[in-house]
Structure 1
Amino acid sequence: MTRKFHRTARPTPSKGRAVARAGGHLGGSGVAGSVRRTVLPSGLRVVTEAVPAVRSVTFGIWAHVGSRDETPSLNGATHYLEHLLFKGTRMRSALDISAEVDAVGGELNAFTGKEYTCYFARILDSDLPLAIDVVADMLTGSVLDPSEVAAERGVILEEIAMTEDDPGECVHDLFSHTMFGDTSLGRPVLGTVDTVQSLTRDRLAEFYASHYDPTRLVVAVAGNLDHETVVRQVSAAFDRAGALAGSGAEFAPVGPRHGQLTVRPAGRVEVVERPTEQAHLVLGLPGLSRHDERRWALGVLSAALGGSMSSRLFQEIRERRGLAYSTYSYTASFADCGLFGVYAGCRPNQVADVLKICRDELDQVVRSGLADDEVERAIGQLSGATVLGLEDTGALMHRLGKSELCWGEQLSVDDMLLRIASVTPDDIRSVARDVLGARPSLSAIGDFTDEQVSRLHDAVA
C-alpha cells in the first residue's frame, strides 16, 4: 500500500426542503465525459465523471474538515485521524485494509489540508466495488483502537521530524505563521510535538464523531464507471456501516465553507536560524479567497512572474544571475482569504540580492503590469497546465471533490479555460495593484550572520 501524507456538527434536518435525488448532468469536462451528481437522503453527495476510454477508476471520499477546524490544543488532530482511519474498523484490521487493495494492484492514499481531508483509491474499473467498500468502511467504521493510537503517535512524531529536516518545506509552514499568526490557518497541518503528544484517544474520537457524518462528506469518482451503479454501491456501503447512515430522516449537505479570518499586517519578518547550506525564503503578501473572481487574473500574473522557466523571476534570478537553483511564485486560496508568495533557495550571502530582485519585479508589475506577449504566454502556459493536469482519473477525482466541497458546483474545464483566456492586461494591472502593491512580509530559514539577518529586515522595509 502506498501512502503519502501532507504535511462539525451532527446532520441538520432539511426541514421539509426537498433534497436532490437523481443524478443530473452537469456538463462535460472538456477532457473526459459528463459529470453527474446525486445527493442521498443522509446528505451524502456522490459526484462522478465517466471516462469510458480508460480501464481505471479513482474513488475518493472528501471530508469537510481540515486543520483550520482545530483549536490550539487540537492542532494536528485532523492529520492524526487521517492516519488512524487506516488502522482498522469493525469489519477489517489494518492489514485487511491494505491487503485487500494490494491484492488487486490498487493504490490507497490520503492527504490532509487546511480546509479538507481526502481518502482515495486508484483501482481497475472491475475492482471499483472493492474500493468503495474498503474506503467507505474506513471512514465510517474506524474503531480508533487505543493501541493503534499510541503506535501511530510515534509515526506522526517521526513525520514531523522528517518535515523539520526539510527547510524547503518548513519555510512554507513558517510563511503561514508569518501571515496568519497563531490562528488555525497559521498553525501546521501536522501539529507540533507537544500537541500530538497531548492528543488522547477520547479527544480524537470526539473530533471524529463531530466531523465525519454524511452531510460533511463528498464521494468523488472518475474513470470507467456508471453513475447509477456507483450511487447504489456507495449507498449500500454506508448503510452497512449503520452508525453514520442516519435515522431515515432527510438531511441537507453542509455548504461551502465561509470564514472571517484576516491576514496579519504587512511588513512582518520571521527568521529561523538553522545550520543549512542554503537559505530558504518566502516573500509574500495577502492574496485572494477562492470565491474572488480576480483569482483568475492573479493566477495568470503568478504564471508570468514565477510559474515557468520563461517567467520573469526564473529568468532574472537563475538564468541571468545564477543566484538560485529553485525559484517560483505561487498562490494559495482559502474560503475567506489567500496568500501570494515568492520562494527562492540560495546561499545565505546572496539573500540580499535575491530579495532585491524579487521586490523590484513585484514593484515593476505594480507600476506597469505585464506586456501583452507575457500575458498571452502566461495564459497559454496556465491553460495547457490545466488541461494536462487533468489527463488521469486521479486528477479528475481531485477536481470533482474539491469543487463540490469548496464551491458547491462543478466548473467544467472548458469554462475554466474561458475564464483564463478572458484575462486582459488591464485585469493584470488591476490585480497587481490590489495584491502586490502592499508592503510584503518575509519568512526565512538558514544559517545567517547578524548582518544577514539585518538585511532580511531591510528587504521588507
Structure 2
Amino acid sequence: MTSRSPKTTARTSSEARAVARTQTLLKGKDGIGTVRRTTLPGGLRIVTETLPSVRSATFGIWAHVGSRDETPTLGGATHYLEHLLFKGTHRRSALDISSALDAVGGEMNAFTAKEYTCYYARVLDTDLPLAIDVVCDMLTGSLILQEDVDAERGVILEEIAMTEDDPGDVVHDLFARTMFGDTPLGRPVLGTVDTVEALTADRIRRFYKKHYDPTHLVVAAAGNVDHATVVRQVRRAFEKAGALTRADAVPVAPRDGRRTIRTAGRVEVLNRRTEQAHVVLGVPGLARTDDRRWALGVLNTALGGGMSSRLFQEVREKRGLAYSVYSYTSGFADCGLFGVYAGCRPSQVHDVLSICRDELDRVASEGLTDDEIARAIGQLKGSTVLGLEDTGALMNRLGKSELCWGDHMSVDDMLARMAAVTPDDVREVAAELLGQRPSLSVIGPLKDKQADRLHTAVA
C-alpha cells in the first residue's frame, strides 16, 4: 500500500463519501440478522450482520489470495505473509499488536487456505473500534522488514516440521498431490522447506502489494455491530493509510472456472514408522458453485458424516477396525474433492480399504435409502444452525460468501435448499462421483508387498 500526503488523502476521503454504495442484502426480523454491504470507491467491500442480542463482535478482513495463486518458486508465500503481518506496522510493533487485543480479553488470529486468507479479531462489542483499527493497520501498513522475514522463517520451518510429525495431517496434503499433481492445488499451503528458505523480503513485499490491494479485500463483521459505524471506522483506517486512492476501482470478481488438471486411479504411498496407517481414498468432486453441492452434502453426511453413517457403522462399530473414519468434501472455484479418511493398524489397512471401496461402489450402484437421506438432511440442517450460533462463524460465512460467491444466502434459504434435496438427486450425484475410479494416498509402516497390493484397491 502506498502512502499519500494529507492533502491527497483528504480529497480521496471526500470522493469516497460521495460514491460509496450501500445495499441491504438480507433483511432480518426487527433488525436482527440484517446483512448489509457497502462498497467504497477504492474497491473495498464491507459486509456486516447485526445481532443486537449478543455482547461480542468478530471483525475480519478476507484477502482474495491463497496458495493456488503462487508460482512454484513462491510456494508458501501466502502463509509466510500471514505471519509477517503480525510483525509490525508503521504505527505498531509486534508487541503493540498482540498486547492491544490481550488488554481487552480479545482473540486475534489468521488462517491461509488454497483460495483465500483471513485475519480476524473477536472482542466485546465495546472494543470493536480497537479491533478494527488494529486489523486494518496490519493489512495496510505492514513493514515486512528483512529482519522479521529472517526471524519468522524459523517459526514457519518449525510449523512445517510440526505438521510433518502429524501423519493425519500429512496424508491430506499427500492426497491433494495425488489428485492434482504438481499444480497450485496439489502443493501444500505451508510451502516446503526449500521454497520457504528461498523466499526473500523483496519477493514477499511484491506479493503483498499485488494481492492486498483494497479491490482484493473483503471486510466482514458480525455481532452487536452497527453497519454505518463499522463502515466509517474502516474507511477512516484505510484512508489514514492512503489505501483508497482509486475512485473508480472495481472489486475483483469471484474466481472463474479455470480448469485444473485432475487424475484418477493414482496411488501414493509414503512409508513412515507410525503406529497407524493413515488412508485417504477419494475421487474428483464438485466445484463450490455447482448446484448439486446440496445433494453432495447430504450424500457426504449419510456416507461418512456422523456416528450413524455407513462408514462409521461398518468400519468402526461392526468391525472395530478404526477409531477415526469419516468422509469429507472440498470445493474450489473450478473443481472439488470427495474423500474418505481412516486411521487403522497397518496390518488391517487392506481390510479397511476393501470395506470403504465396497461401500462407495454399493452407494454408486444402489444409492442410499430414503431413511438414510432423511436422517442426513436433518443432521445437516441442525449442524448448520448450531454451527452459526457464534459471531466468529457468522463472520466467516459473510466473508467467504462475499469473496467466493459474490452473494449471500439466508439461513432459512440454506435450510430450504437442504430440505428440497430428493433421494433421486442424491442417487444421481452418487452414481456420477462415486462411479469414478478413485485415487489413494497412504502413510504408514507398510512393507513392499503391502504397498504393491494397494494398487488393487483402486483397480
In the superposition, the TM-score normalised over structure 1's length comes to 0.94
Distance in 1, matches of 2:260 and 2:25, equals 37
2:279 to 281, 295, 298: 281
Please list, as runs of the form range in 1=range in 2, the aligned pairs for 1:63-142 lying within 5 A after superposition: 63-142=63-142
What is residue 366 of structure 2 aligned with on the other side? Answer: 368
What is residue 269 of structure 1 aligned with on the other side? Answer: 267
Distance in 2, matches of 1:343 and 1:33, equals 36
How many Å apart are 1:288 and its aligned residue?
A: 0.2
The yes-or-no answer on 1:184 pairing with 2:179 is no
Distance in 2, matches of 1:262 and 1:362, equals 24
Deviations 1:11-50 (A, max 9, x none): xxxxxxx976124242349995111111011110000000
The yes-or-no answer on 1:154 pairing with 2:154 is yes
How many Å apart are 1:140 and its aligned residue?
A: 0.4
Distance in 2, matches of 1:68 and 1:25, equals 30
Two-structure CA RMSD over aligned residues (Å)? 1.5
Distance in 2, matches of 1:340 and 1:255, equals 26
**Which structure 1 residue ranges, 5 or more long, are not aligned?**
1-7, 9-17
How many Å apart are 1:457 and its aligned residue?
A: 1.1
Distance in 2, matches of 1:108 and 1:163, equals 22
Distance in 2, matches of 1:245 and 1:92, equals 21
Deviations 1:370-396 (A, max 9, x none): 111000000001111110000000000
How many Å apart are 1:80 and its aligned residue?
A: 0.1
Aligned residue for 2:348, secondary structure, equals helix
Please list, as runs of the form range in 1=range in 2, the aligned pairs for 1:319-334 lying within 5 A after superposition: 319-334=317-332
Q: Which amino acid aligns with 1:26?
A: L
Aligned residue for 1:228, secondary structure, equals helix
Q: Which amino acid aligns with 1:329?
A: S
Contact 2:364–2:431 (CA<8 Å) still a contact in 1?
yes
What is residue 15 of structure 1 aligned with on the other side? Answer: none
How many Å apart are 1:263 and its aligned residue?
A: 4.3
Contact 1:31–1:413 (CA<8 Å) still a contact in 2?
no
Distance in 2, matches of 1:102 and 1:303, equals 39
**Which structure 2 residue ranges, 5 or more long, are not aligned?**
2-17
2:355 to 354, 357, 369: 357
Deviations 1:435-460 (A, max 9, x none): 11011000000000112112211111
How many Å apart are 1:265 and its aligned residue?
A: 2.5
Seq. identity, %? 73
Contact 1:31–1:391 (CA<8 Å) still a contact in 2?
no
- The alpha-carbon distance between structure 1 residues 130 and 182, as it changes in their structure 2 partners (threshold 3 A), is same
Distance in 2, matches of 1:184 and 1:196, equals 15
Aligned residue for 1:329, secondary structure, equals strand
Moved over 6 A (4+): none
How many Å apart are 1:245 and its aligned residue?
A: 2.1
Aligned residue for 2:185, secondary structure, equals coil
How many Å apart are 1:259 and its aligned residue?
A: 3.6
Q: Which structure dedicates a bigger proportion of its chain to helix?
A: 2
Distance in 1, matches of 2:307 and 2:455, equals 29
Distance in 1, matches of 2:399 and 2:89, equals 24
Distance in 2, matches of 1:25 and 1:454, equals 55
- The alpha-carbon distance between structure 1 residues 355 and 263, as it changes in their structure 2 partners (threshold 3 A), is farther
Distance in 2, matches of 1:84 and 1:290, equals 30
The yes-or-no answer on 1:298 pairing with 2:296 is yes
- The alpha-carbon distance between structure 1 residues 31 and 83, as it changes in their structure 2 partners (threshold 3 A), is farther
- The alpha-carbon distance between structure 1 residues 345 and 29, as it changes in their structure 2 partners (threshold 3 A), is farther
| Count of residue pairs brought into register by the alignment | 443
Contact 2:25–2:408 (CA<8 Å) still a contact in 1?
no
Contact 1:29–1:412 (CA<8 Å) still a contact in 2?
no
How many Å apart are 1:347 and its aligned residue?
A: 0.7
2:387 to 386, 389, 411: 389
Contact 1:56–1:125 (CA<8 Å) still a contact in 2?
yes
Distance in 1, matches of 2:363 and 2:58, equals 41
1:407 to 405, 408, 424: 405
Aligned residue for 1:185, secondary structure, equals helix
Distance in 2, matches of 1:24 and 1:259, equals 28
Please list, as runs of the form range in 1=range in 2, the aligned pairs for 1:167-206 lying within 5 A after superposition: 167-206=167-206
Distance in 1, matches of 2:248 and 2:66, equals 26
Deviations 1:311-335 (A, max 9, x none): 0000000000000000000000000
Deviations 1:145-194 (A, max 9, x none): 11110000000000000000000010000000000000000000000000
Contact 2:167–2:443 (CA<8 Å) still a contact in 1?
yes
Aligned residue for 1:459, secondary structure, equals helix
Distance in 2, matches of 1:48 and 1:199, equals 36
How many Å apart are 1:258 and its aligned residue?
A: 1.3
What is residue 429 of structure 1 aligned with on the other side? Answer: 427
- The alpha-carbon distance between structure 1 residues 458 and 50, as it changes in their structure 2 partners (threshold 3 A), is same
Aligned residue for 1:350, secondary structure, equals helix
Contact 1:58–1:122 (CA<8 Å) still a contact in 2?
yes
Q: Which moved more, 1:440-449 or 1:249-258?
A: 249-258
Q: Which amino acid aligns with 2:376?
A: A
Distance in 2, matches of 1:334 and 1:416, equals 19
Contact 1:30–1:414 (CA<8 Å) still a contact in 2?
no
Distance in 1, matches of 2:364 and 2:222, equals 41
Aligned residue for 2:179, secondary structure, equals helix
What is residue 444 of structure 1 aligned with on the other side? Answer: 442
Q: Which moved more, 1:278-287 or 1:431-440?
A: 431-440
How many Å apart are 1:260 and its aligned residue?
A: 1.9
Contact 1:63–1:211 (CA<8 Å) still a contact in 2?
yes
